[in-house]
Structure 1
């Protein structure tokens, strides 16, 4: 219908006449029947008598015409376009190469076997997403794509190392043997603090390690790995490894500063002080029997779930312990203790291979309380931001906590004393180790507050000796503050003592006792050290590297030292995580994968995300 009819209506008495809505004039429609009617006379009437309405009519007509000229949304593609969409990509096509690269990333990052490219489900998925792409063979990915991607990532790693070539590097290393193939691998991970005070962490090697694992063989392997990455041995700050004798001897033969993994040392201390105790060994043996019963019997586990539902508890499996990880034993006892009522109800109706007595339940509770600080420390030192600076403060707080009496000591007093003795024995040299001492002082969360009073002066001399070796950074203004118990140097505990002391309580207690003394200043570097130590430590939850990035202008020499010492880890956790990933690469599906390809996959998996 024409837009003109918005201004007219058909006469009720004669359909051949249109009536103007504005002036009620009667206008002929130009014919005697509906077939001959037109709108020309109506349009001319609007143009002559009603210009405004005529303008509105023209705009409406133009809009309709424009809409009719617009292209249809259901455009029919040409035959050539349809043919092009079904034509397979050429081998050198840019989009095809990009897809191939992403498939290789998928294999490396998600621990997929190369055979995944031959799986029907994966091929159907790729065919649906991009019909023009032809998936290369598994051999192409393993023999061509993998080396190319490894070389690409290795080049980026070389560039990253060259960018910070003047900084000292710290490393972790470990040896791993596969359970599914006769393969051993030696790892090397590097860690350093860059010029922006950001912690950098990369994997350099997880190479095959054939033959006997002697100190000489390990030392030679280190030399080759450092040569491969153009790392000057004089730039190696420290290498963290486990407590094995061959690894310790290899560090000495290579003239490298070796650090024993704190987590491994804690494992030995807990085993000597706790797990070797007869009463605790008995409850652990009983716990393993109970957990093993439910693990190997679906019927027993189904019955356990029913009992848990009766107590309105979510279904929960018991934790199986691993003898080489003391904290797994802790988690096993914790999981059993949390289900104490459930197990009591279960025993009333069903049989178990062994049960706990009421005294043993109390012993489990107190043992968990005794080991809880060790579990907290293990988590702390296993985190990605843990450093050598954490060792002395954590041990100071732990020893103080173990030396205090608590209500939860019932039944474990002897064990507690044995545990304290084991910790003192295994970490006897920690508070005298220069690397730990200097790192602790350079951590603004700790400074010298956790150093024994009689050793503070000696540690200060260690730091000053390191400062004197630094290349002068130029004159800088140093603000000196006399010591004393002022508002900035005295921390006041606001929390009341709880019934059972915690590890955090020990940190605060030590901090209160160790306010900085008045210091005598001589050189500019000594003034930096005095000014730095006179200030109150930052909260333990803060990042020490953020502090140094902010305050490097005030303490330039100390900041330079902090980059070296705060980069040293206190555990070999990075290497252990690497080999946890290796167990997924060399699994039952890929037990014939060569070590060379396994190393390349691990290298890409760990380092590629740094550059994405």
Structure 2
């Protein structure tokens, strides 16, 4: 109970809890606070060893890393490990949340990551490290000499924030809305009046949402809730003594258009934030669809139009960069839902195909046995039927030809649907492909 509910160790000293336990079983003796702490530490070590054993079985892992600050302004480094189990399930293990009082330099960050990787025995298994786009994190990954990918959720946040900053009219509107929302969150009378008005209108009472500067989607939620409650807010303000003015009809129309432009970005953020599904192959197709959707949704009003134009420009620039990252282009090509359809630029598509072809050629050469080797069980049957005395290493030209044929055949097949519905049960039936790329 203490572990699952994050209860403090002092719960065993609380009079009400002690009375409850006594009523349930008068003969049970509660452990002391010190004993309870020791029990939890034993359970932690047991769970950690079990997690280590599972991680050691993984053929390859990827890491996500983030620096964050507690409410007491203490810095922490959190590192999470992701891998595929023997049952083809995506698994996640938290390697550690370390107090990080040192300066956040690349050298200190690299040392912290290296210590965790060594402790968990995955130093040689890490194929990619996902972080935010901070300069110190980028330098840290370079020192570790690991393939690096910037978190797409952080990227979307940065794209939208920069696009906000380039639209002065939108920032003025945000500040006006924030001031209004602050009134209903900080004033008891205003908050109670808003609830009362919603109930009189037969609505479910909702609270206002305030934006957080570091998260663009909090701005989306703030504007969305304000637009949803525009009528109750206007009625509540009419009975309050305040100089805070609500948005005008034209400003509410601008908010509506801005929400329409931003909605796909909110959906994309939710999609890539899932912890139970692999998202690497979705990044490029997702950004392409954002570019396409925003282009089709461009409104006529100046504020939302400027925001849309800024987003389209930044999306196009960023997609061009993403389509050069092998850690994203290869999974996209190898995902039978996307293949070539996931790319925006034809030239980048061909570059990715050539890169994948080279990977296939290298794999075929590695699997070809030397002339003096006996056939192994993993070699295809036609090769096993050949006399070992005439078996020769695969030539460079034949490996390239085989890889080209195999890849062309794969790309020529029809893409599968993202989700199929089982005709008998009505439940989603997913089709998965397990592929490792070193």
Given the two structures, how large is their TM-score scaled by the length of structure 1? 0.62
Contact between 1:197 and 1:545, CA under 8 Å: does it hold in 2?
A: no
Question: Is the alpha carbon distance of 1:270 and 1:406 closer, same or farther for their aligned partners in structure 2, counting shifts above 3 Å?
Answer: closer
Classify the secondary structure of the residue corresponding to 1:412: helix
Question: Is the alpha carbon distance of 1:542 and 1:177 closer, same or farther for their aligned partners in structure 2, counting shifts above 3 Å?
Answer: farther
- 1:137 — aligned with what? 32
- 1:489 — aligned with what? none
Question: Is the alpha carbon distance of 1:360 and 1:389 closer, same or farther for their aligned partners in structure 2, counting shifts above 3 Å?
Answer: same
Contact between 1:402 and 1:420, CA under 8 Å: does it hold in 2?
A: yes
- 1:431 — aligned with what? 323
Q: Partners in 2 of 1:311 and 1:257 — Cα distance?
A: 56
Aligned partner (choices 431, 441, 456) of residue 349 of structure 2: 456
- 1:490 — aligned with what? none
Question: Is the alpha carbon distance of 1:420 and 1:135 closer, same or farther for their aligned partners in structure 2, counting shifts above 3 Å?
Answer: same
Q: Partners in 2 of 1:378 and 1:279 — Cα distance?
A: 25
Classify the secondary structure of the residue corresponding to 1:369: helix
Q: How far does the alpha carbon of each residue in 1:484-534 deviate from its partner, in whole angstroms, 9 at most, with x for none?
A: xxxxxxxxxxxxxxxxxxxxxxxxxxxxxxxxxxxxx96444444333322
- 2:14 — aligned with what? 119
Contact between 2:282 and 2:332, CA under 8 Å: does it hold in 1?
A: yes
Q: How far does the alpha carbon of each residue in 1:27-75 deviate from its partner, in whole angstroms, 9 at most, with x for none?
A: xxxxxxxxxxxxxxxxxxxxxxxxxxxxxxxxxxxxxxxxxxxxxxxxx
Aligned partner (choices 553, 557, 560) of residue 435 of structure 2: 560
- Listed as ranges, the matches of 1:22-421 within 5 Å are 106-142=1-37, 144-164=38-58, 167-180=59-72, 183-233=74-124, 235-352=125-242, 353-384=244-275, 385-404=277-296, 406-407=298-299, 411-421=303-313
Q: Partners in 2 of 1:337 and 1:442 — Cα distance?
A: 42
Contact between 2:298 and 2:305, CA under 8 Å: does it hold in 1?
A: no
Per-residue deviation, 1:309: 2.4
Q: Partners in 1 of 2:379 and 2:55 — Cα distance?
A: 27
Question: Is the alpha carbon distance of 1:201 and 1:405 closer, same or farther for their aligned partners in structure 2, counting shifts above 3 Å?
Answer: closer
Which stretches in structure 1 are left out of the alignment for 5+ residues?
A: 1-105, 478-520, 550-558, 566-612
Classify the secondary structure of the residue corresponding to 1:107: coil
Contact between 2:288 and 2:319, CA under 8 Å: does it hold in 1?
A: no
Q: Partners in 2 of 1:328 and 1:176 — Cα distance?
A: 18
Q: Partners in 1 of 2:160 and 2:177 — Cα distance?
A: 18
Per-residue deviation, 1:118: 1.1
Contact between 1:197 and 1:546, CA under 8 Å: does it hold in 2?
A: no
Question: Is the alpha carbon distance of 1:560 and 1:370 closer, same or farther for their aligned partners in structure 2, counting shifts above 3 Å?
Answer: closer
Question: Is the alpha carbon distance of 1:533 and 1:377 closer, same or farther for their aligned partners in structure 2, counting shifts above 3 Å?
Answer: same
Question: Is the alpha carbon distance of 1:150 and 1:411 closer, same or farther for their aligned partners in structure 2, counting shifts above 3 Å?
Answer: closer
- 1:474 — aligned with what? 379
Q: How far does the alpha carbon of each residue in 1:202-243 deviate from its partner, in whole angstroms, 9 at most, with x for none?
A: 11111222211110011111111111111133x211011111
Question: Is the alpha carbon distance of 1:248 and 1:390 closer, same or farther for their aligned partners in structure 2, counting shifts above 3 Å?
Answer: same
Classify the secondary structure of the residue corresponding to 1:333: helix
- 2:375 — aligned with what? none
Which stretches in structure 2 are left out of the alignment for 5+ residues?
A: 368-377, 383-398, 422-427
Q: Partners in 1 of 2:163 and 2:278 — Cα distance?
A: 25
Q: Partners in 2 of 1:453 and 1:408 — Cα distance?
A: 31
Contact between 1:289 and 1:354, CA under 8 Å: does it hold in 2?
A: no
Per-residue deviation, 1:123: 1.7
Q: Partners in 2 of 1:441 and 1:199 — Cα distance?
A: 20
Q: How far does the alpha carbon of each residue in 1:2-33 deviate from its partner, in whole angstroms, 9 at most, with x for none?
A: xxxxxxxxxxxxxxxxxxxxxxxxxxxxxxxx
Confirm whether residue 533 of structure 1 aligns to residue 411 of structure 2: yes
Classify the secondary structure of the residue corresponding to 2:27: coil
Q: How far does the alpha carbon of each residue in 1:521-552 deviate from its partner, in whole angstroms, 9 at most, with x for none?
A: 96444444333322222222369995345xxx
Question: Is the alpha carbon distance of 1:219 and 1:319 closer, same or farther for their aligned partners in structure 2, counting shifts above 3 Å?
Answer: same
Contact between 1:274 and 1:419, CA under 8 Å: does it hold in 2?
A: no
Contact between 1:188 and 1:203, CA under 8 Å: does it hold in 2?
A: yes
Q: How far does the alpha carbon of each residue in 1:445-474 deviate from its partner, in whole angstroms, 9 at most, with x for none?
A: 111212232222221121122223335353
Contact between 2:67 and 2:76, CA under 8 Å: does it hold in 1?
A: yes
Per-residue deviation, 1:409: 5.1
Question: Is the alpha carbon distance of 1:467 and 1:542 closer, same or farther for their aligned partners in structure 2, counting shifts above 3 Å?
Answer: farther
Higher Rg: 1
Per-residue deviation, 1:373: 0.8
Per-residue deviation, 1:476: 7.7
**CA RMSD across the alignment:** 2.5
Residues paired across the two proteins, number: 402
Per-residue deviation, 1:407: 4.9
Per-residue deviation, 1:376: 0.8
Q: Partners in 2 of 1:174 and 1:407 — Cα distance?
A: 37
Given the two structures, how large is their TM-score scaled by the length of structure 2? 0.85
- 1:81 — aligned with what? none
Question: Is the alpha carbon distance of 1:359 and 1:127 closer, same or farther for their aligned partners in structure 2, counting shifts above 3 Å?
Answer: same
Which stretch shows the higher mean deviation, 340-349 or 215-224? 340-349
- 2:389 — aligned with what? none
